[in-house]
Each structure stands twice: as structure tokens, then as C-alpha cells.
């Protein structure tokens, strides 16, 4: 993952409105949830839409770091990478500074043993030069899923989020997780630091974030190069290009005749699951280029990108050739079409036929599986079945639903009778009942919602005896770590309860040399226990293979005696009530080389096991199949743009082919063997699979993996590696532990926010527990300077922040506030993880100068000193919709109390505030609303649409506290003050057009328009004027343009340009100007 984080271009936002206190520099904000913030970026196996904290809540997940136009600051959101505040271990090699918590000490030493050699070999493989700077690397244990990122902000660094690879995802073939993720991220470091001399000078002045490749190389090339290296650097079957299951995403799209462009797969497409496009298409494209033009083409492209000619770009413009065409000599559009044709040639697929089936080349004589009946379509997560019902997670509606299959069976049984009734009816009666009959026959019962759920719910096991569901559901603990856990749901009492945390696989558990026995070292993933025999079934990882396995009562592990066939799913076992304990069946999803996933069945009948595989793959593949009963299987079939269909397949007509191969299924007997026997039989002439752990030439020259059967007489046990890792004291040194490593490596970044322009100095330690920033600049609206300095510290669920700032305030005349403030926040993530609760305390002390002279920067003469202290709580269930334009849905509730005063005891008092916010897609998928309130019950504080004051006996002084509600820009000229204030807004999305329209330019870069949304709504505010309630109101119309500059990874950025026209109905309170026009520009990566 290249962590370019969230790009924020808040350059023109609220262009005609400057809220006096909301626009202070680097405003304080609640603690950033680690899971939410990391979902703002592309992961190594990224899905586009996940839990997302809405920016409409009044804060941003990121310090406001801005640059101008293409010299924009690509920064990551701060998210604590270690669960505690303890020091980290430090290991130094010739090229790397490696940091790790105590729990990952062994892995840090392993990495130190091969990091330098890998770096040198990689640079040689790519044909790019070594950097002389030391490279900081952090090993983190905060994530449950394997991941990592390499970032340029605030300085070069690599972070490895270590855990065992998931046998279900695209990293399943990463047998040595530490090595594979390190190699992937090291590729990003090497390629993005390829700069010409001029750019090196600029990077020395501004920081590592100045890299020309950011706006030269599309994201598909950035990530594709890393995927290509992870798959081709060592010929060991590791990496996504060697994994048919990972590549199935592309095969599915090509089978549906999806014709994506390079920019589509580089961030222009943003549907759920589109985060995988640059990795998969990009890896294939780089592989194609290297095969057609030689491996050196990769180095030439990156070297050309390092020169940073933006007007030339990667693909060029109408009048200029891009670097790709210059290096290959082939026009870009033609080259891309050649690439897609190459992908199709490499696939064992034909394009989608008229009937929708997919034919495997060489198997056209095989029969198609019967067409499944669609039960549901949309964004489907976990799936389970049992007791005549199907259970699934609807990701869009954030819930677990159940669907009864009994009604479907009754309709099927009644169909002949209904047909007979139809023949007996008169023609008139037949027409009258036609629609009703169609609904009775074809429309399934509407799914019933059981409880709120999210994408963190992994497995749904139906326990018929218990009368409930067993749920494997990842939770977030108080230290912000993601932990797999088991929950129970009682279907009769509708009660969800936590049972226990689940064990986790160890890093490196798939390495062959760890399997000296079959008990302790092998982890059974997603295990399900047979209640009759107590045997556990699941999946195991052996090298790059994923296999069905079982754990017997004596704790011995046995695996299926079959070759590696890219199996990525094993269902819960199914047994009829009449069957004995030695009869059971499982449904599997299997992906053949260069094909689509197909159904497989593993069945035990009277003690004999057979393994059957469907001869053909249906359109959309077969994903997560489960037995609903003895004759039906429910599975997911992929459809366009990240959606799926839930299908019911009747297997009664061909289930006998499990025993006797036929037109639908091919089958054979299956035995269970030990993992050691499987490795000896299928994997090698025994090579030390972890040659990178040993730096000797002998280790590196050992034979490659080959799936050939080995003579049994050669060995009776697994060959052992010479050494788990190699450490040379002369090149690796353990240094003193550090609390905040790399905390003074800064980026110097041009900054723009609202009406402020300047430069920011940004630093963040490697663990992201400590960060600090400083800013100096100019507020061009009031023609005054501004400055600030900020420090924050995070530890688990806690976050402390302190900030000092000096800024002019838009008032008449211009005022000035110099303040020191601090905040302590706590946040806890609930289950499901889009729900959270938080609380915090804050305080601010400021010097207020009522008149800020133009030449008064160094002549501060405060008129008074004011202070405020308060506390607040919040409940948040906001999350982004899975459908474009991805507006948030859910609710946010806030409440707070503050006490403020001034050095004069006459001013000040208590104020209460609260808000209710409904996301823009909460009501009917397109309507949102919000209401804010503030009240000073004892007086002393007064509110207006755009400002907040201290009050006493008719006199007013400017408050140093923030407004607890949005500034009402239509009435910012209203000077009326009130002891209470209400503000509300309701808005509806009129329409949203998905365009992905590219406007070609004469020179690079081009501009693309993703979508246009039109929104209308009403705003209103209530306050007291002349001792009577008064209503201010307005109507507004917004046009939102989601754009992208097709320039390198910037194409993945959402540049959101907003135009708003508003009409104030009480023009006399709006300064006599009822019409208000606003322009906004924001950005998000």
C-alpha cells in the first residue's frame, strides 16, 4: 500500500464566509479512530468503501495540510500504530532503522537479517539506484489483517502491519508475511524516490513529500510495479499474479465485457471494491510490459517519471506524447487495448454469451449448472444457512438479515396447481390475476432484519440444536487493536452476547520449515466443530497453498490429499437429521488457473470421502457456497461494480454425480494425510522455501518450487532450514529503545485553508503516537499574519493535544486572539465498528485585542483575557453509503457543557450545547438533516449566527470559545445576540449523475468528471430578538462536481468543487443582501 492518505485542498471552502473562531489554525478535534482513518487509504488488498467518519460532524480527521495545485501535500491521517505508550525496540543495519514493540522482537531480528540484501537485490532487479539515506521501518501488531504502507509524509518511512495472511483474501499466497509485505513496501520506497537532480534539491528544501512520481505515475503503475515484483522477484508461487483467486476479479470483469481504461483502474472508478483495481490490473499491465518490451522497460518508465515533466505526463495529451509512448514507441490507446487482449488470451474463458454462461476452453461439452434462483442482490457480506433459512449481512443497510426458504419451496410446490387454476379461469379473470400470480410465484419473502452488523462480521454458523447463530466478529479493544471474537445470537430471544476472543494464527505459520509436527504449528482458519464427532474442519495454509483440513480429537491435523487448487472457502458442515455421524458434506469455492470460481463439494458417506468439482463456472463465479438443505446450496455470484447476487441452486438433479462423475461434476475419492506428507507429495524436491532468510549464495541457489510428486524413499521427514535467520553483529546492532522514533523529521508544506495562506512544518513520529506542527502565514481576507504550534499525543483510546495560536478575527474592526488550549479525548469503538462513543474535556485561555492594527504584530496590547473550559460526550453511528455518491448515513449525537469568563468577574457563565445530525443518505437514501442548539441558562454568554460573545448588562466582549453550531453564512451580518440559539438544516439530493467523463487537453494532465450531484434544502435559525423569539430562514441549491486531475496518483483524489446559491428570506437581518453565493473546493484521497 502506498499511503498517500487523504489529500485536503480546502483552498476556497466557505469562500465568502469566515467564521471568526472556527477558522483558527489547526482546530482541536476528537481522537481519530485507527480503523476509520486507515480506511481512508488504499490497502494492499483494498476495498473502496468502509466505515467512514463523516466530515459533516464539524472536524476533519487530518491536520489541515494544504499545498497549491499539484504541489499538494499528500498526507496520511494520523492513526496510532501501536496499542500502548511503551518504548519500541531499535535495530540498526547498514541501510535500515528497524523499530518494533516487544511482542515482535523476533520478527524485527529476522527482518534485520535479510533487509539489506533484499534492498540491494531489489535495486538490481529493478535497475534503479540505491538511496544513501537510512530507511526507517516500523513493525506494528495493531491490525488483525495483514497490511502495510510506505509513505513520503512527513518523511520516508515504511510500516508493516503484521499478522498471518488470510486464506480468503488476495494475500493468501504470502507464505512469509514479513518478507512479502516488506518487499512490496520497499518497492514503493525505491520507485518513489527516483528523482532527477532538480527534484532532489526541491525535496531537500521541502521534504520527502516532494516526489515527481506522485503526479507522473498512475496508481496502477505505482501499485502494479509492487505487485509485479512481489510475484516475479522470487519464483516461489507467492504474490497476487501467481494466485488465480486474486486474479479472478479481473477475469470476472473481462467476462462481463468490462472495458476499463488505465485511469479507471488508477482511482477514477470508486465503487466498493475498486481499491483492488490498481493492484490487479496494474500488476498485470506491468507484467505485460515486461514480457513484451523486456524487464528494463520498468526502470525506464520510473526514471522518466522521476524527471517530473507534468505537461508530458504518463499518457500525454493531444499534442504531446506521454512517457509510456516515448519509451515503447506505441500509441497509448493501442497499447492498452493490446494489453486487454493479452489478458483475455491468458484467461481460460470465453466472453459472456447470450445466455450469460461462461464456457471454459476445452470443456464446452460439459453441462452448465442449473440456473440459480435469485434471492437478493446488493452489497453482501458474510453468509450462512441452516434450519430452512439463509442469513446474510447487507452492507448497505448495515444489518444481518434472515430469509426463509420455506415460502420459496411452497411456491414451487404450488406452481402446478396454480397453472391448472390458470387454465380454468376465464380470459378476463386471468388478466386480472396475472400480476398477483407472478408475485406469488416469483417474489421471495422480504428479508427480515435481525440486528445491526458490518463488514467486520466474518462467519455465520447456524446451530440448530442451540437455536441460534455463532458469529465470528472482529471487535476493537480499548487499545485500538482489532481482535477476532465469537458472539452468540439467540434467535428466540433476539439477544446478542459476547462469548470469547478467538485464537489468532502466528506470523509465518505457512512456512514449510515450521511444520515439523502436525499439532502445534498449524493453525486451522475459520474452524467449525462438528457437534457429533467433535472434529474441527477449516482451512490451513501450507506454503502458498490453501487446503481443507481437520483437527481430530487427539489434536492431530490432517489435510485433504489434493493439489493446490486455489481453494478460498469451506462452508459449515451439513448433515441430515437421518444421517449418521460418519456422513457429512461441505461446500467449497475453488478457482482454477486463469478461470472463475466454481462449486466444489466435499462429502463423507458412510466413512468414505469424495471430492467433486463442477465442470463449468457460472457467470459471476461461485463464492461462499453453503448448504441450505440436502438439495439446495446458496452462494454469492459477483455482479458489476462490487455488487453480488444471492442465488439458490437446486442440486437434487445431479447430486448423485458426487459418487459417479457426470455432465455436471467430476469427482474422485479423497484421503486425509498429514501436512508433512502433503508437502513431500506436492511441493518440492525439498527447497528451503525461505531462502531470503539466509544471505549465502548456497541458500539462494537452491531449486525452485515445483508441484511434482516426490519419491518416498528420498526422505521420511521434512528438510529443515539451516537457520531461521542470519544476523551478523558487524552489520546489525541493537540500539537503545525509543519512545517516539523519527519525531523530528519534518515536511515543509505550502498551506491553504479558507482565507489562510502560508507554510506548515509537519512532523509525526514513526508510531504516529506523537505529532507536532507549526504554521506561519497570512490571512488575505483581513490582511493580517497568523501562526500556530500544535502537539498531540495518543495512547490507546486516549488522546491529548495542546495548541498555541495567534490569529486575526474577521470583525468590525478586525480583532485579534492569542490563545493557549488543550484537550483530552477518549473514544471507544463498539460492535458493529461504525458505532462509537467518545468523551472529552477541553480548556482555552486567550488574550483578546478588540482592534488589530495593520502594523501591530509585535505590539500586542490585549484589552482583556478570557478563558473557557468544558466537557462533552458523543455517540456516532455514521458510515458511508456503498452506493454513489457515497453520502454518509446514520446518526451522530453530541452534548456538552462549558463555563467561560473573562478577567473581569462581571462577564461569563455556563452554556449548554447539543446536536443531532442525520447523514445525507439516512432518510430514503437521499435526505439528511441536522439540528444544533446552544443555551446560556444563567446568562453571561450570548450567541449570534456567526459569533459568540461574553455578555453582562448589555455590554459584550468577544468570546474565545468555539461556536457549538455551524456559522450561518447567509446571516453572518446579523449582529443580534441571544441567550439561546437553534440552528437546523434539511437537505435532499435531487439527483446524482455518474459520468466518468474525461476531457482531453492539448497537454497533460486531463481533467475528469466523475459525477454531478444536485442538492436542495432549507436552513433556519431561532434566537431571541427584542425579547421575542425570531426565525431566520433561507433556501439553498448546491451543485457538487466530483472531479479528478488525471496526473499520476492524483487521479485517485476526489477534488470536490461546490457551487451554492442561497436566498435569505429575512433580508433585513442579512445586511440587506438576500442572495448569497458560495464556492467550495475540497479534496479526499
Q: Tell me: pLDDT of 976 over 90.
A: yes
Least Cα distance to 1060 among 1045, 1082, 1075, 1044 occurs for: 1075
Are residue 531 and residue 491 in the same domain, yes or no? yes
Give residue 608's pLDDT.
95
Are residue 1010 and residue 971 in the same domain, yes or no? yes
Assess if residue 741 is contained within a domain. Answer: no
Q: Residue 610 sits in a domain of what CATH number?
A: 2.115.10
Q: What is the DSSP letter of 93?
A: -
For 111-121, the pLDDT digits (tens) are: 999 999 999 99
Are residue 385 and residue 516 in the same domain, yes or no? yes
CB 753 within 8 A of CB 74: no
Are residue 1002 and residue 944 in the same domain, yes or no? yes
Q: Residue 292 sits in a domain of what CATH number?
A: 1.10.390
Assess if residue 360 is contained within a domain. Answer: no
Full 3-state SS string of 719-760? CCCCCCCCCCCCCCEEEEEECCCCCCCEEEEEEEECCEEEEE
Angle at 1012 between CA 249 and CA 54, to 5 degrees: 75
Assess if residue 738 is contained within a domain. Answer: no
Assess if residue 694 is contained within a domain. Answer: no
**pLDDT band at residue 414 using 50, 70 and 90 as cut-offs:** low
Assess if residue 980 is contained within a domain. Answer: yes
Which of 649, 679, 709 is the last residue before a domain boundary? 679
Grid cell, residue 176, equals: 512469509
Which of 679, 707, 739 is the last residue before a domain boundary? 679
**pLDDT band at residue 355 using 50, 70 and 90 as cut-offs:** very low
**pLDDT band at residue 520 using 50, 70 and 90 as cut-offs:** low
Segment among 784-788, 923-927, 952-956 with least mean pLDDT: 952-956
Least Cα distance to 472 among 486, 462, 482, 461 occurs for: 486
**pLDDT band at residue 732 using 50, 70 and 90 as cut-offs:** confident
Grid cell, residue 825, equals: 479525548
Give residue 516's pLDDT.
55
For 705-729, the pLDDT digits (tens) are: 233 333 333 333 333 333 333 334 3
Spatial separation of the C-alpha atoms in residues 954 and 977, rounded to whole Å: 10
Q: What is the mean pLDDT of residues 224-237?
A: 94
891 phi, psi to nearest 5 deg: -135, 145
Give residue 380's pLDDT.
98
Q: Tell me: pLDDT of 574 over 60.
A: yes
Are residue 1037 and residue 1004 in the same domain, yes or no? yes
Q: Tell me: pLDDT of 799 over 80.
A: yes
Query: Does the N-terminal peptide bond of residue 702 adopt cis geometry, omega within 30 degrees of 0?
Result: no
For 251-285, the pLDDT digits (tens) are: 999 999 999 999 999 999 999 999 999 999 999 99
Q: Residue 792 sits in a domain of what CATH number?
A: 2.40.160
CB 178 within 8 A of CB 111: yes
Give residue 37's pLDDT.
32
Write out the E strands in 563-615. 567-570, 584-590, 598-605, 608-614
Structural domain boundaries, residue 1001: 34-78+755-1084
**pLDDT band at residue 860 using 50, 70 and 90 as cut-offs:** confident
658 phi, psi to nearest 5 deg: -65, -35
Q: Tell me: pLDDT of 1009 over 90.
A: yes
Assess if residue 706 is contained within a domain. Answer: no
Segment among 472-481, 487-496, 501-510, 516-525 with least mean pLDDT: 516-525
Are residue 47 and residue 120 in the same domain, yes or no? no
Domains held by the chain: number: 3
Q: What is the mean pLDDT of residues 875-884?
A: 96
Grid cell, residue 331, equals: 500509441
Give residue 427's pLDDT.
55
**pLDDT band at residue 417 using 50, 70 and 90 as cut-offs:** low
Q: Tell me: pLDDT of 1085 over 50.
A: yes
Largest CA distance in the chain: 101
Assessment of whether the complete model's pTM goes beyond 0.75: yes
Compare 216 and 512 and report the one with higher pLDDT. 216
CB 472 within 8 A of CB 142: no
Give residue 73's pLDDT.
33
Instruction: Give first-to-last CA distance, the chain, whole Å.
Output: 13
Query: How large a percentage of the chain has pLDDT more than 90?
Result: 67
Are residue 652 and residue 795 in the same domain, yes or no? no
Assess if residue 712 is contained within a domain. Answer: no
Q: For residue 787, what are the CA distances in angstroms to 153, 230, 775, 784?
A: 22, 45, 5, 10
Give residue 883's pLDDT.
95
Grid cell, residue 1, equals: 500500500
Are residue 269 and residue 384 in the same domain, yes or no? no
Are residue 487 and residue 625 in the same domain, yes or no? yes
Residues pairing with 401 in the sheet: 392, 449
Query: Which residues does 470 contact at the CB level (< 8 Å), separation at least 6?
Result: 459, 460, 461, 462, 463, 486, 487, 488
Give residue 686's pLDDT.
38
Q: Which residue has the cell 464446452?
A: 364
Least Cα distance to 506 among 104, 147, 230 occurs for: 104
Query: Which residues does 348 contact at the CB level (< 8 Å), separation at least 6?
Result: 360, 361, 362, 592, 593, 594, 595
Spatial separation of the C-alpha atoms in residues 282 and 260, rounded to whole Å: 12
Spatial separation of the C-alpha atoms in residues 1017 and 989, rounded to whole Å: 9
**pLDDT band at residue 27 using 50, 70 and 90 as cut-offs:** very low
Which of 636, 663, 679 is the last residue before a domain boundary? 679
**pLDDT band at residue 430 using 50, 70 and 90 as cut-offs:** low
Give residue 1016's pLDDT.
98
Q: Tell me: pLDDT of 126 over 90.
A: yes
Q: What is the mean pLDDT of residues 842-860?
A: 86
For 43-92, the pLDDT digits (tens) are: 455 433 333 333 333 323 333 333 333 333 333 445 689 988 899 999 99
Q: Which residue has the cell 506428507?
A: 677
CB 1078 within 8 A of CB 12: no
Give residue 416's pLDDT.
52
Are residue 69 and residue 116 in the same domain, yes or no? no
What does pLDDT average to over the chain? 84
Q: What is the mean pLDDT of residues 142-163?
A: 94
DSSP per residue, 178-240: HHHHHHHHHHHHHHHT---HHHHHHHHHH-TT--THHHHS-HHHHHHHHHHHHHHSS-SS-SG
**pLDDT band at residue 1080 using 50, 70 and 90 as cut-offs:** confident
DSSP per residue, 261-306: -TTGGGTT--STTGGGHHHHHHHHHHHHHHHHH-THHHHHHHHHHT
Spatial separation of the C-alpha atoms in residues 616 and 666, rounded to whole Å: 10
289 phi, psi to nearest 5 deg: -60, -45
Query: How large a percentage of the chain has pLDDT more than 70?
Result: 82
**pLDDT band at residue 859 using 50, 70 and 90 as cut-offs:** confident
For 183-216, the pLDDT digits (tens) are: 999 999 999 999 999 999 999 999 999 999 998 9
Are residue 93 and residue 42 in the same domain, yes or no? no
Compare 469 and 413 and report the one with higher pLDDT. 469
Give all strands of the β-sheet with 373-378 in edge-to-edge order: 373-378, 644-650, 632-638, 623-629
CB 699 within 8 A of CB 691: yes
Are residue 377 and residue 422 in the same domain, yes or no? yes
Assess if residue 725 is contained within a domain. Answer: no
Q: For residue 1007, what are the CA distances in angstroms to 950, 997, 1040, 1042?
A: 49, 9, 16, 11
**pLDDT band at residue 577 using 50, 70 and 90 as cut-offs:** confident
Least Cα distance to 184 among 104, 238, 134 occurs for: 238
Amino acid at each position: 500500500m502506498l499511503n498517500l492518505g487523504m489529500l485536503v485542498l480546502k483552498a476556497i471552502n466557505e469562500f465568502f464566509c469566515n467564521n471568526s473562531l472556527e477558522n483558527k489554525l489547526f482546530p482541536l478535534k476528537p481522537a481519530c479512530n485507527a480503523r476509520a482513518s486507515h480506511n481512508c487509504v488504499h490497502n494492499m488488498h483494498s476495498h473502496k468503501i468502509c466505515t467512514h467518519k463523516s466530515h459533516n460532524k464539524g472536524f476533519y480527521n487530518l491536520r489541515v495540510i494544504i499545498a497549491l495545485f499539484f504541489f499538494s501535500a499528500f498526507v496520511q491521517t494520523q492513526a496510532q500504530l501501536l496499542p500502548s505508550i511503551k518504548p519500541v525496540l531499535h535495530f540498526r543495519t547498514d541501510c535500515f532503522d528497524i523499530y518494533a514493540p516487544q511482542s515482535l522482537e523476533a520478527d524485527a531480528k529476522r527482518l534485520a537479517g535479510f533487509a539489506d540484501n533484499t534492498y540491494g537485490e531489489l535495486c538490481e532487479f529493478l535497475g534503479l539506484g540505491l538511496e544513501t539515506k537510512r530507511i526507517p521501518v516500523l513493525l506494528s501488531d495493531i491490525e488483525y489483517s495483514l497490511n502495510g504502507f510506505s509513505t513520503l509524509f512527513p518523511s520516508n518511512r515504511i510500516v508493516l502491519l503484521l499478522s498471518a495472511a488470510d486464506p480468503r483474501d488476495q494475500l493468501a499466497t504470502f507464505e512469509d508475511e514479513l518478507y512479502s509485505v516488506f518487499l512490496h513496501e520497499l518497492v514503493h520506497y525505491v520507485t518513489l524516490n527516483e528523482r532527477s537532480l532538480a527534484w532532489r534539491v526541491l525535496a531537500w528544501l521541502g521534504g520527502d513529500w516532494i516526489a515527481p512520481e506522485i503526479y507522473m505515475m498512475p496508481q496502477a503503475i505505482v501499485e502494479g510495479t509492487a505487485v509485479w515484483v512481489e510475484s516475479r522477484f522470487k519464483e516461489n508461487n507467492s504474490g497476487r499474479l501467481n494466485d488465480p483467486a486474486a486474479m479472478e476479479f479481473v477475469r470476472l470483469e473481462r467476462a462481463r465485457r468490462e472495458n476499463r481504461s488505465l485511469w479507471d483502474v488508477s482511482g477514477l472508478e470508486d465503487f466498493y471494491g475498486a481499491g483492488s483495481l490498481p493492484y490487479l490490473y496494474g500488476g498485470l499491465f506491468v507484467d505485460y510490459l515486461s514480457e513484451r518490451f523486456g524487464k528494463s522497460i520498468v526502470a525506464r518508465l520510473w526514471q522518466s517519471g522521476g524527471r517530473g515533466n507534468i505537461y508530458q505526463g504518463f499518457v500525454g495529451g493531444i499534442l504531446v506524447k506521454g512517457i509510456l509512448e516515448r519509451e515503447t514507441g506505441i500509441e497509448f490507446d493501442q497499447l492498452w487495448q493490446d494489453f486487454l487482449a493479452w489478458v483475455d488470451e491468458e484467461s481460460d474463458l470465453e466472453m459472456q454469451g447470450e445466455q450469460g454462461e461462461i464456457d471454459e476452453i476445452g470443456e464446452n461439452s460439459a453441462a452448465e449448472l442449473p440456473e440459480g434462483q435469485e434471492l437478493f442482490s446488493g452489497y453482501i457480506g458474510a453468509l450462512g444457512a441452516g434450519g430452512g433459512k439463509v442469513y446474510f449481512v447487507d452492507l448497505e443497510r448495515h444489518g444481518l438479515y434472515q430469509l426463509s426458504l420455506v415460502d420459496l419451496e411452497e411456491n414451487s410446490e404450488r406452481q402446478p396447481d396454480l397453472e391448472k387454476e390458470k387454465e380454468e379461469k376465464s380470459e378476463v379473470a386471468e388478466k386480472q390475476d396475472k400480476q398477483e400470480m407472478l408475485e406469488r410465484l416469483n417474489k421471495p419473502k422480504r428479508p427480515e432484519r435481525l440486528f445491526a452488523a458490518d463488514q467486520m462480521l466474518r462467519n455465520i454458523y447456524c446451530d440448530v440444536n442451540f437455536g441460534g447463530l455463532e458469529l465470528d466478529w472482529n471487535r476493537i479493544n480499548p487499545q485500538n487493536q482489532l481482535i477476532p471474537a465469537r458472539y452468540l445470537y439467540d434467535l428466540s430471544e433476539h439477544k446478542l452476547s459476547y462469548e470469547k476472543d478467538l485464537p489468532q494464527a502466528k506470523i509465518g505459520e505457512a512456512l514449510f520449515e515450521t511444520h515439523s509436527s502436525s499439532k502445534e504449528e498449524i493453525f486451522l482458519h475459520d474452524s467449525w466443530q462438528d457437534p457429533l464427532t467433535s472434529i474441527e474442519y477449516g482451512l490451513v495454509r501450507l506454503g502458498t497453498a490453501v487446503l481443507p483440513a481437520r483437527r481430530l480429537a487427539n489434536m492431530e491435523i490432517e489435510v485433504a490429499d489434493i493439489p493446490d487448487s486455489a481453494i478460498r472457502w469451506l462452508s459449515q458442515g451439513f448433515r441430515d437429521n437421518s444421517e449418521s455421524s460418519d456422513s457429512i458434506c461441505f461446500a467449497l469455492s475453488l478457482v482454477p488457473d486463469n478461470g472463475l470460481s466454481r462449486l466444489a463439494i466435499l462429502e463423507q458417506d458412510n466413512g468414505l470421502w469424495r471430492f467433486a468439482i463442477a465442470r463449468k463456472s457460472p457467470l459471476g463465479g461461485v463464492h461462499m457456497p453453503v448448504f441450505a438443505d440436502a438439495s439446495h446450496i446458496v452462494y454469492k455470484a459477483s455482479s458489476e461494480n462490487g455488487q453480488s447476487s444471492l442465488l439458490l441452486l437446486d442440486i437434487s438433479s445431479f447430486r448423485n454425480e458426487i459418487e459417479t462423475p457426470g455432465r455436471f461434476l467430476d469427482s474422485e475419492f479423497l484421503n486425509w494425510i498429514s501436512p508433512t506428507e502433503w508437502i513431500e507429495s506436492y511441493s518440492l524436491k525439498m527447497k528451503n522455501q525461505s531462502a531470503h532468510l539466509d544471505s549465502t549464495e548456497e541458500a539462494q541457489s537452491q531449486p525452485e518450487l515445483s508441484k511434482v510428486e516426490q519419491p518416498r524413499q528420498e526422505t521420511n521427514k521434512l528438510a529443515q532450514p539451516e537457520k531461521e535467520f542470519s544476523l551478523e553483529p558487524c552489520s546489525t546492532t541493537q540500539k537503545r529503545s525509543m519512545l517516539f522514533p523519527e519525531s523530528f523529521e519534518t515536511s515543509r508544506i505550502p498551506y491553504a485553508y479558507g482565507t489562510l495562506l502560508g507554510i506548515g512544518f509537519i512532523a509525526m513520529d514513526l508510531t504516529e503516537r506523537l505529532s507536532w506542527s507549526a504554521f506561519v502565514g497570512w490571512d488575505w481576507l483581513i490582511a493580517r499574519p497568523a501562526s500556530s504550534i500544535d502537539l498531540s499525543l495518543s495512547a490507546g483510546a486516549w488522546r491529548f493535544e495542546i495548541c498555541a495560536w495567534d490569529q486575526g478575527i474577521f470583525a468590525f474592526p478586525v480583532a485579534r486572539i492569542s490563545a493557549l488550549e488543550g484537550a483530552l479525548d477518549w473514544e471507544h469503538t463498539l460492535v458493529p465498528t461504525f458505532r462509537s462513543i467518545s468523551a472529552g474535556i477541553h480548556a482555552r485561555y486567550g488574550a483578546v485585542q478588540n482592534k488589530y492594527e495593520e502594523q501591530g504584530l509585535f505590539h500586542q496590547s490585549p484589552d482583556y483575557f478570557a478563558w473557557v473550559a468544558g466537557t462533552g460526550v458523543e455517540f456516532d453511528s455514521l458510515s458511508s453509503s456503498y452506493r454513489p455518491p457515497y453520502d454518509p448515513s446514520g446518526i451522530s449525537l453530541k452534548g456538552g457543557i462549558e463555563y467561560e469568563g473573562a478577567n473581569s468577574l462581571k462577564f461569563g457563565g455556563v452554556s449548554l450545547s447539543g446536536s443531532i445530525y442525520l447523514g445525507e443518505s439516512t432518510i430514503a437514501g437521499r435526505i439528511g438533516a441536522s439540528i444544533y442548539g446552544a443555551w446560556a441558562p444563567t446568562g453571561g454568554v450570548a450567541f449570534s449566527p456567526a459569533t459568540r460573545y461574553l455578555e453582562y448588562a448589555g455590554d459584550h466582549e468577544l468570546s474565545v470559545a468555539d461556536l457549538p453550531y455551524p456559522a450561518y453564512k447567509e446571516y453572518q451580518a446579523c449582529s443580534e445576540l441571544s441567550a439561546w440559539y437553534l440552528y437546523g438544516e434539511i437537505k435532499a439530493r435531487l439527483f446524482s449523475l455518474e459520468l466518468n467523463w474525461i476531457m482531453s487537453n492539448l497537454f497533460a494532465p486531463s481533467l475528469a468528471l466523475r459525477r454531478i450531484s444536485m442538492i436542495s434544502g432549507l436552513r433556519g435559525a431561532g434566537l431571541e430578538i427584542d425579547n421575542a423569539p425570531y426565525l431566520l430562514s433561507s433556501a439553498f441549491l448546491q451543485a457538487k462536481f466530483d472531479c479528478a486531475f488525471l496526473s499520476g496518483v492524483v487521479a485517485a483524489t476526489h477534488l470536490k468543487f461546490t457551487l451554492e446559491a442561497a436566498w435569505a428570506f429575512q433580508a433585513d437581518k442579512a445586511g440587506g443582501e438576500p442572495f448569497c453565493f458560495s464556492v467550495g473546493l475540497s479534496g479526499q484521497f
